[in-house]
Amino acid sequence: MPSIVKINVLTVPEEQREVLEKRFASRAGSVENSDGFEWFELLRPVEGTDQYLVYTRWRDEESFQAWMEGPMKAAHQRGGDDAPQQKPAAAGSTLWSFEVVQQAAPQQG
């Protein structure tokens, strides 16, 4: 079965960019231990768009859904209920879903 890619597209006002990157810099780091997780990248826009992309790749849809219903919630509500609610750095978000049709990695040796 081909892997799937889930990209969270974040609209981030110019003045919030640093806040967003700082938050990701201190992210929970629990996604790495999620079953079926394959890859994560936070992509900063340089040209052609001003939206940040949170790129994730998963073995299958089930492993992504299991993360969304579990660790994802904790990873986004850190500091528990009594923590001062942080103003979201992003002004909006959209989820894009893809299936990996073709891929290539650098040839070894």
Separation of alpha carbons 36 and 52, rounded Å:
24
Sign of the alpha-carbon dihedral angle for 56, 87, 78, 61: negative
In three-state secondary structure terms, 21 is: helix
| 88 interacts with ligand HEM by CB under 6 A | yes
| 21 interacts with ligand HEM by CB under 6 A | no
CB of 109 to ligand HEM, least distance (A): 32
**Options 3, 11, 40, 63; binder of ligand HEM; rule CB under 6 A:** 40
Contacts of 11 (CB under 8 A, 6+ apart): 50, 51, 90, 91, 92, 93
Separation of alpha carbons 37 and 24, rounded Å:
18
**Cβ distance to ligand HEM smaller for residue 2 or 27:** 27
**Options 27, 62, 97, 100; binder of ligand HEM; rule CB under 6 A:** 27
Chain residues in the site for ligand HEM (CB under 6 A):
6, 8, 20, 23-24, 27-31, 40, 54, 56, 75-76, 78, 88-90, 93, 95
